[in-house]
Amino acid sequence: MLYNNIVMNAYCKSFSKKRQTGNALIYVLIVVALFGALSFLLARQTDTSETGVVGEEKINIYAGQLISSASQLKQAVDMMQYSGSAIDDLDFVTPDDEPAYSTAPHIDKVFHPEGGAVILPKLPTEVVSQFSNDPIAKWYIGRFNNVEWTPSIAEDVILVAHQISPAVCAKINETLTGSATIPALGVAYSLRNVLIDDSLHSGANTDFDVAACAACEGVPSLCITNNAGTMYSFYSIVAQQ
């Protein structure tokens, strides 16, 4: 009897150790499987070649950033006008334009700390879709032509994110208007001539009128394309007169 008990106890201990070893192995396999699944998920999320949900999320983020930047600059210009700066007195000289930037007075300078204190951000690399370098893809702002549907024939202030991707352009319009449609300029018009001061490119300014973009009439901010559909720009009428 004593011998049987000893044998039985030894068997039970051996069985228990094997069971514990088996359980430990199962836990290890579960951990390995979970780690593999997590690695696969992270790899998908960081794979910029995919155009699924992650791509759409990026487009939403970039479109929101451009809309927000335009809104913040308009608010700063509105505050400058409220504080006494006339639209015709607004100065768009930037920190890299010396000595004009450092020459007083500064009160009407949109990008000077003593004026509007605006910091114009760079276009994110993934937003840029540059077709021409005349001028290059970036933010531009100026008072250089008249927008037909504003109160007078005086020059208005226009901000533009020039040469952005069509996907971000469409998302901007969907966010602002509910439609992802991108209006095209008339054949006789170019984005740079309508939206960018001609001191910054080789073209010549033309007024922003209904003939240029019928769908733009009365719309303060919108993303549009040239007639060929090769360039896309997001404009915002910052100050109108």
* 49-60 pLDDT tens trace: 443 444 889 999
For residue 30, the model assigns a pLDDT of 52
What is the distance between the alpha carbons of residues 105 and 114, in angstroms, rounded to a whole number?
9
Q: If you average pLDDT over residues 66-83, what whole number do you get?
A: 96
- The predicted model scores a pTM of 0.77
User: Residue 229: is its pLDDT beyond 60?
Assistant: yes
Confidence of residue 79 (pLDDT cuts 50, 70, 90): very high
Give the rounded percent of residues in the chain with a pLDDT score beyond 90. 75
For residue 115, the model assigns a pLDDT of 95
User: Residue 184: is its pLDDT beyond 80?
Assistant: yes
Virtual torsion, Cα 26, 32, 34, 35, nearest 10 deg: 160
Contact between 174 and 196 (Cβ < 8 Å): no
For residue 2, the model assigns a pLDDT of 44
